[in-house]
Structure 1
Amino acid sequence: MVVKVYGPDYATTKVVLVCLIEKEVEFETVHVDGFKGEQKQPEYLKLQPFGLFPVVQDGDYVLYESRAILRYFAEKYKNQGTNLLGKTIEDRGLVEQWLDVEAHNYTPPIYNLVKIYFASVLDGVP
């Protein structure tokens, strides 16, 4: 079964796509237009109750939050494609460390910059 990746053509959806490519997992993308508010529609909210990106659907299994998705596919397909988790417990510790560094030190400032940029670009747009 083909994995479906829901989200826009930018941002966190890209890291999920890179992970799936590295793990040689067949997938299709389902475009969700954040500018039009499609992520706030009831059908999307059934998949992701916070109306955020990305979401994956792996058969009947639905998962959101990009880092959880990355860990899921890296583990599920650990014997396929590129090894993303490392070969030792120490390697895995470093992977987890840098996922946390990215989550807490990189994402928040970038998210704020994106919000400010899009707020200024969309200011006055109905």
Structure 2
Amino acid sequence: MAPKVHGNVFSTATMRAFATLHEKGVEFEVVHIDMKAGEHKKEPFVSFNPFGKVPAFEDGDLKLFESRAITTYVAYEYHGKGTELVYHDTKKMAIVSVWMEVESHHFDPVVSILLFEQRVKPMIMGAEPDLAVVEENQKKLGLVLDVYEARLSKSKYLGGDEFTLADLHHLPTIQYLMGTSTKKVFEARPHVCAWAKNIMARPAWTKTVAMQKQA
């Protein structure tokens, strides 16, 4: 049986899972969760994720939640298919793991605030973004991306010379931010800008974004 992803095609976390499966060339089934109707906070979804957040994942008798745990499982379970996304050399994988942690603990908290102000408020809540909050967090993002700029001046990708989960995990939030004024924070750093354009052009990511148009 094909793996199942319970989620929403517009959710950044769900998009991470989709992109990983596309990179691996693994066929999967999407179980749509209507978040506007609050399905992610009700049964049967909360039996998959008691925290009520998408996505959840099934592969046979295995059930997972948390998008980065799902992507890591898929990358290792389907070793030998599609893009590797992880290393089996422990030292190389240690470097990739560092940048996966950076994305989770330094990049994502800042961009989540920017996405809320610049995408969620105007498009879903019908409210204006707080420009002071946007400016403050664009400055914070700039400091994070200064570290990325230094790293990407020495290697093509964050984890080394090959595309890995360390890069993939950034894709959903970067995709949305490129439609906001925060785009300038990326464009001000040439190595970061080139990296972002490169990873967003990947066929697997194009497939992931196309799923939104089909929804």
> Where is the helix percentage greater, Structure 1 or Structure 2?
2
Structure 1 unaligned residues grouped into runs of 5+: none
Task: Flag structure 2 segments of 5+ consecutive residues without an equivalent.
Answer: 128-215
Q: Deviations over 1:87-115 (max 9, x none)?
A: 52222112211110110012112222334
Structure 1: how far apart are the matches of 2:88 and 2:53? 33
> Secondary structure at 1:56's aligned position in 2?
strand
**RMSD in angstroms over aligned alpha carbons?**
1.8
Distance apart, 1:123 and its partner CA: 6.0
State which drifts further: 19-28 or 81-90. Answer: 81-90
Match of 1:41 in 2: 42
With structure 2 as the length reference, what TM-score do the two structures score? 0.53
Percent identical among aligned pairs is 35
Task: After TM superposition, give the deviation of residue 18 of structure 1 in Å.
Answer: 1.2
**Structure showing the higher strand proportion among its residues:** 1
SS in 2 for 1:82: coil
2:84 maps to 1:83? yes
> Deviation string for 1:10-48 (max 9, x for gaps)?
211111111111112110111112222110112110111
Q: Which whole-Å CA distance do the structure 2 matches of 1:111 and 1:97 have between them? A: 20
Q: Which residue of 2 aligns with 1:122?
A: 125
Whether 1:92 aligns to 2:93 is yes
Q: Could you tell me how far apart the structure 2 residues matched to 1:6 and 1:27 are? A: 11
Look up the match of 1:6.
6
Q: Distance in 2 between matches of 1:36 and 1:113?
A: 24
More displaced stretch, 34-43 vs 95-104:
34-43
Give the whole-Å Cα distance in 1 for the aligned partners of 2:49 and 2:55: 8
SS for the counterpart of 1:33 is coil
**What letter is aligned with 1:110?**
V
Task: Measure, in 1, the Cα distance between the counterparts of 2:42 and 2:115.
Answer: 22
C-alpha distance in 2 between matches for 1:113 and 1:53? 20
Letter in 2 for 1:118: V
- How does the TM-score come out when normalised to structure 1? 0.87
Q: Counterpart of 2:156?
A: none
Larger radius of gyration: 2
Between stretches 67-76 and 88-97, larger displacement belongs to 88-97
| Local SS of the residue matching 2:109 | helix
Aligned residues between the structures: 124
Structure 1 segment 50-89 matched on structure 2, within 5 A: 50-89=51-90
The 2-side partners of 1:118 and 1:62 are apart by: 29
SS in structure 1 at match of 2:44: helix
- Secondary structure in 2 matching 1:29: strand
For residues 29 and 92 of structure 1, what CA distance do their matches in structure 2 show? 30
